[in-house]
Structure 1
């Protein structure tokens, strides 16, 4: 019976506070700084994708069977 009381008095309130705090943060969405950072990362990913496609095209032209060696 003591573990249940300890859980209800100590653990449960802390858990509830942390749970609802995280729910509130999620519902607020991205901050302006996070949105800017996400946009920058998205642009970087697009550039990297284009570079990878270019490199693969070069490798395909110079060494057609390079994919089977990987």
Structure 2
């Protein structure tokens, strides 16, 4: 009797339990896969805040450059590339 019960349980798990588990989580993933409206608004707000902070930092650097050109020790290649990127964007 025990020899028959083990294969039935294993077949039941493989052909019923495992596919149900996979389909359950695929369905949950599809249902919750996208951003909510609140998430999109928060992301937009954070992007706008980052843009404003970048503008403020650029303004401060221009003011400091005009008042004291030697306030930075020296510009590295990375810093020059960063400023070039800021001007382009």
Q: TM-score, normalised by structure 1?
A: 0.59
Unaligned runs of 5+ in 1: 1-15
More helix by share: 1
Number of residues of Structure 1 aligned to a counterpart in Structure 2:
50
Instruction: Give the RMSD, CA atoms, in angstroms.
Output: 2.6
Q: TM-score, normalised by structure 2?
A: 0.47
Unaligned runs of 5+ in 2: 1-20, 75-89
- Hey, which bits of structure 1, 4+ residues long, moved more than 4 A? none
Q: RCO greater where, 1 or 2, for CA within 8 Å and sep 6 or more?
A: 1
Q: Which protein shows a greater Rg? A: 2
Give CA deviations for 1:13-53 in whole Å, capped at 9, x if unaligned. Answer: xxx88xx58x827x712111000000000000000000000
